[in-house]
Amino acid sequence: MFTLSWQPPYDWPWMLGFLAARAVEGVEIVGELSYVRSLSVEGHCGLVRVVADLQANALQVTLSQGLQPVSSVCLEKITRLFDLNCCPQQITSALGSLGAARPGLRLPGCVDVFEQGVRAILGQLVSVAMAAKLTAKVALAYGDMLEDAPGYVCFPTPEALAKAEPLHLKALGMPLKRAEALIYLARATLEGTLLTAAPDDIEQGVKQLQTFPGIGRWTANYFALRGWQAKDVFLPDDYLIKQRFPGMTPAQIRRYAERWIPWRSYALLHIWYTDGWQPSVDSEITGIQ
């Protein structure tokens, strides 16, 4: 068993609720204070079990035998997924009143950049629940079963999806263009075109992602937010964000959000998950006299 610590406060009910809503059947199971999932790392496969110890401010991580040779990589992935390196006091100080109500909010990351790209593409124009169901179908069809963990399947590798037939993916319940986008993403990953770590210039990286078929601006930014766990991403043309900023254009919203640089990703989460939040009147931004 391994131990990973975090700096309190940490809003575990929110984080696990976020992951539970997006849990892919066969790949992961989210409990009240636990998270279990299959994982494939450098050819090694197995289960990761994570239990939050709220008294010790630590995660207890158990790796099955198959993952023991790559334990350090697995722990890095869990650290990114749960944003354990976050300094909440620093974020709260930077966000001011916006972050005061929920200082334990963290930025959900991912355990694999390619996997997050697949999830982002499959999540387009459907509900969170429908996206999780469709992703589970893809995982079952193209992932490898875990021999020592009945009922679990490893998320499909880029190699597996790169060889997929578009019509077979379409038959799982997605538009043909989306199936083709998944195959392109898989091949881009194998060719090294899809960056598996956050680039120095996130904005330029997001623009490059938008050259991929089936990836628009919103999807590219959301991918940067979770796949690269970029700390300074904002989505001014997001539907809910536009509702939170009534009467403002995306350009005005973008300018307003500049006050939260370099932590705009956290600001975005707080705005998304704070019912009734409203921006302060700022004549310079909104044009109100």
pLDDT at 40: 95
DSSP per-residue letters across 3-40:
EEE-PSP--HHHHHHHHHHT--TTTEEE-SSEEEEEEE
Cα–Cα distance measured from residue 258 to residue 256, given in angstroms and rounded to the nearest whole number: 5
> Catalytic annotation on 238?
yes
Cα–Cα distance measured from residue 234 to residue 248, given in angstroms and rounded to the nearest whole number: 15
pLDDT tens digits, one per residue of 11-52: 999 999 999 999 999 999 999 999 999 999 999 999 999 999
| Active-site annotation holder among 83, 112, 232, 238 | 238
**CA-wise closest residue to 211 among 179, 181, 169, 167:** 181
pLDDT at 78: 98
pLDDT at 288: 40
Cα–Cα distance measured from residue 235 to residue 238, given in angstroms and rounded to the nearest whole number: 5
CATH no., domain 239-286: 1.10.1670.10
What is the assigned CATH class of domain 116-226?
Answer: mainly alpha
Asked if 260 and 94 touch (Cβ cutoff 8 Å), the reply is yes
Phi, psi angle pair for 83, to nearest 5°: 55, 50
For the chain, list residues with pLDDT below 70.
282-289
The third-level CATH classification (topology) of the domain covering 2-100 is TATA-Binding Protein (3.30.310)
Looking only at Cα atoms, what is the longest distance across the chain?
67
Give the start-to-end residue ranges of the domains of the chain. Answer: 2-100, 116-226, 239-286
Q: Do domains 116-226 and 239-286 have the same CATH topology?
A: no
pLDDT tens digits, one per residue of 100-143: 889 999 999 999 999 999 999 999 989 999 999 999 999 999 99
